[in-house]
Amino acid sequence: MDTRTCGNLLAYVAVAVVTFVVIFSSADVSFSFTTTHSKPEFLIPIVQLRTKFNFNPQHSDGYMLRQSTLSSPIRKTFIGRRLPELELGRARRAIQRAATVRNLSQLLQNSDVLSGDIYHNPGEFYQSYIEMEKRFKVYVYEEGEVPIVHDGPCKDIYTIEGRFIEEMEQDHHFRAKDAHKAHVYFMPFSVTWMVRYLYKPNSYDITPLQHFVSDYVRTISTKHPFWNTTHAADHFMLSCHDWGPHASKGNLNLYNSSIRVLCNANSSEGFDPQKDVSLPEINLRNGKMPANLLSPPPPSSPRPHLAFFAGGVHGPIRPILLNQWKGQDPDLQVHDYLPKGLDYYSFMLASKYCLCPSGYEVASPRIVEAVYSECVPVIISDHYVLPFSDVLRWEAFSIQVKVSEIGELKRILTSVPENEYLRLKENLRAVRRHFVLNQPAERFDVFHMILHSVWLRRLNLKVE
């Protein structure tokens, strides 16, 4: 695999994946965003979206202690933690007010434009995003050495892992210099580089990864007070490698309590959408998006193929798709690998729908590639929590097909009315900017959407 380095990204937290709930009182504020899941049969119950965490520096009711009784380091942490909580309270109240605004133009600032159809609630999302820009501070732990810490891959299928770490390391807006003023704490290690440098090929032994994570957590929790203050509930890691969830098992609080930002967002394998964040998988083979995807053809250009897929036969879903449709119908261009001389991205740009079945793991870079090519994604997966589904209405720009319905693909796609297809395609153009990987990052792009997902989960944790 051709990779390179970039150079220097609760069972307690509750974030719903069904309905945006706003619960406020005059003195106490709590809220969260609505989302839909990629599979209609997989729903998370509506919950009250706040977990209160008592500040407990002495393993007793430390929150009730007089400040004068606290030791100096703990007292500094105690006092400092109050300031971020006050800011979060103000943000929650501002979002509550925005939730009642019917005319989005009353909220938009600085010539910002939003397409309301792609969001569960555009006013709530926009105000939350503005509050994030205004207030959110992330402390990046400085412990650790490159390449495994403070670095990551910037090419190929794990691109997003290295690019986020790089952007966070260089950021001057969100990065907090004073750890006591931070809302969340980022552990900038790369699971991909752990696999590259610590894993013994073909051993299938991932304990070296877990040992590294365990040692890293021991270091930061011994040197700093923040991990123990919340048992990691306001800490986050980010990994696009398939083994990211397994590496996080190196520490129980990391696995159970922290915000894990993962491409492998499989709810049947421990991914908890109430606290974890689904990370979009972006494959930059040469470090850049293919040029023809950067400038897709005009909306009126013909797309002769109804649907397209080409990819390796792995995982439980793709063999079903290929057995049913490979070479069976010229309208559905389904291949394992394209014959030599045919261009993968040209097929995407010439197709109305792009089939996105899961492979070994639930995530697929085809989804983002489909968004870029304005080819409506047809998501075929089990237990996949889609990226940014806390704010985005995936049904507004994609189609979700059950594995049991693969044999009905042509009927399902041809039954979509033309005006509905055009609406899906128009919404793809609107949502595209949320999946663009800019360097440096730009407002509303994928870097900021990842941060916003972390911001949401922090908003729903109240440290008392």
Q: How many alpha carbons lie under 13 Å from residue 40 in its C-beta half-sphere?
A: 9
Quick one: pLDDT at residue 110?
87
pLDDT reported for residue 166:
97
Check residue 99 and give its pLDDT.
86
pLDDT at 42: 32
pLDDT of residue 83: 84
Strand 29-32 and strand 21-24: the pairing is antiparallel
pTM of the model: 0.86
Which residue has tokens 């972006």? Answer: 282
Which regions of the chain are under pLDDT 50?
A: 1-5, 7-76, 78
- Dig out the tokens for 105 from the structure: 């133009």
DSSP for 244-303, please give it.
HHHHGGGSHHHHHTSEEEES--BGGGT--TTT-EE-----BTTSS--HHHHSPPPTTS--
CA-CA-CA-CA dihedral for 216, 222, 223, 227, to nearest 10: 80
Contact 452, 134 (CB under 8 A): no
HSE-up of 371 (CA within 13 Å, CB side)? 25
Predicted confidence at residue 55, as pLDDT, reads 44
- Sign of the C-alpha dihedral, residues 213, 218, 219, 225? positive
Let me know: does 182 contact 138? Beta carbons within 8 Å.
Answer: yes
Q: What are phi and psi of 184, to 5 degrees?
A: -140, 165
What are 184's strand-pairing partners? 138
Complete DSSP assignment for 20-80: -EEEE-SS-EEEE-----SSTT--PPP----EEE---TTSSSGGGS-GGGS-HHHHHHHHH
Residue 461 is predicted with a pLDDT of 85
CA 244, 250, 256, 260 torsion: positive or negative?
Answer: negative
| 119 beta partners | 392
Identify the pLDDT of residue 21.
32
CB atoms under 10 Å from CB of 113, counted, come to 10
Amino acid identity at 250:
G
Helix, strand or coil, per DSSP, at residue 96? helix
For residues 444 and 122, the answer to whether their CB atoms sit within 8 Å is no
The residue to which tokens 């996949």 are assigned: 384
Q: What is the mean pLDDT of the chain?
A: 85
- pLDDT, residue 65, reads 25
Closest CA to 392 of 458, 446, 461, 459: 446
Contacts 24+ apart (CB under 8 A), 425-430: 425/299, 425/374, 425/376, 426/299, 427/115, 427/117, 427/118, 427/396, 427/397, 428/370, 428/371, 428/374, 428/376, 428/397, 429/299, 429/374, 430/115, 430/117, 430/118, 430/397
Q: State residue 10's pLDDT score.
A: 30
The residue whose two tokens read 């390449």 is 147
Looking at residue 462, what is its pLDDT? Answer: 77
Q: What is the pLDDT of residue 81?
A: 67
Alpha-carbon distance of 10 to 286, in angstroms, equals 36
User: Which structure tokens are listed for 407?
Assistant: 């044999």
Q: How far apart are CA 173 and CA 385, in angstroms?
A: 29
Note the helical H segments in 290-349: 291-294, 318-325, 344-349
